[in-house]
Chain A
């Protein structure tokens, strides 16, 4: 009941500030940008003056699975930046302005407050991701060849796990810092560190969330969902839940809005 009140408030807020309009649109654009520019690369090179005399430019034949991975890599950079930026003030901003004082002086459970935000932003991110990948999938089928709907769903579901972790991480830092800028900085820093650590300790960190994309590609080529992918997804989800729990603990302990 109270949770629904908090959740509805988040939905209404993100509707009124147009996030429910522009975030899906931007994610769609990011998803299709690489597949389209890759396809039209020869024409684009021609239009800017063509290749220099004698140079040969071979466009490698790309498999549809490789192209959808291009969408993911675009989402992993700019997409994540957008997600972190829209989330950086969700709690920190309310604490800074002081609205959280009026909310938390009511008998509101801290867990409800945080999970309502978490679910509402996950919904926004997952819906945007679905639409983005759907449009990308459509173009890939026209321009590059067949990618089955099942394969599309695999990409959507497992990549969604990665974005879930990003959302959780940003919410976690929201309870640590009061400044949105710091929240964004530390979230991005953490993601970068995770990727570096994963690369250095490749041999031990088999199931690091940063490996999700490569396992997704592996599963698409082999045609079956590997146990590595499932385990990594589980680790990712587990980490997200732990972060959420930590966030509500920190929030409870920390004196509100001081």
Chain B
């Protein structure tokens, strides 16, 4: 078995989850996105770290 200290990794995983949740909550609340919402939902959930970042930079309607 791979010997990994999970207590050590846990905070990093938690940060990833927070990032994902913030992006999803924002996606649900926001009125319109650039491109279809469901696509952004998939991107956010499926691509870890980069997905939410892409959404925040390109998905949100700037103003």
Contact = CB atoms under 8 A, between A and B. Distances in A.
Contact flag (A, B; Cβ within 8 A)? yes
Interface of A: 17-19, 21-22, 25-26, 28-29, 32, 36, 40, 43, 46-47, 82, 85-86, 89, 93-94, 97, 99, 135, 139, 142-143
Given A25-B19, A43-B3, A32 B49 contact: no
B28 interface: no
A29 B16 contact: yes
Contacts of B60: 17
Contacts of A21: 22
A19 B16 CA distance: 15
Contacts of A47: 2
A46 B53 contact: no
B26 interface: yes
- The bracket for how many chain B residues form the interface is 20 to 34
A18 B4 CA distance: 33
Given A43-B4, A97-B62, A142-B8, A22 B23 contact: yes
A28 B49 CA distance: 11
Contacts of A26: 19, 49, 53
Give the 5 A-B residue pairs with the shortest CB-CB distance, closest first.
A43-B2, A85-B57, A25-B19, A47-B2, A93-B62
Contacts of B11: 135
A66 B11 CA distance: 23
Nearest to B63: A97
A19 B63 contact: no
B56 A19 contact: yes
A135 B11 CA distance: 10
Contacts of B15: 25, 28-29
Interface in B22-52: 22-23, 26, 49, 52
A18 B55 CA distance: 11
Nearest to A43: B2
Contacts of A135: 11
Nearest to B11: A135
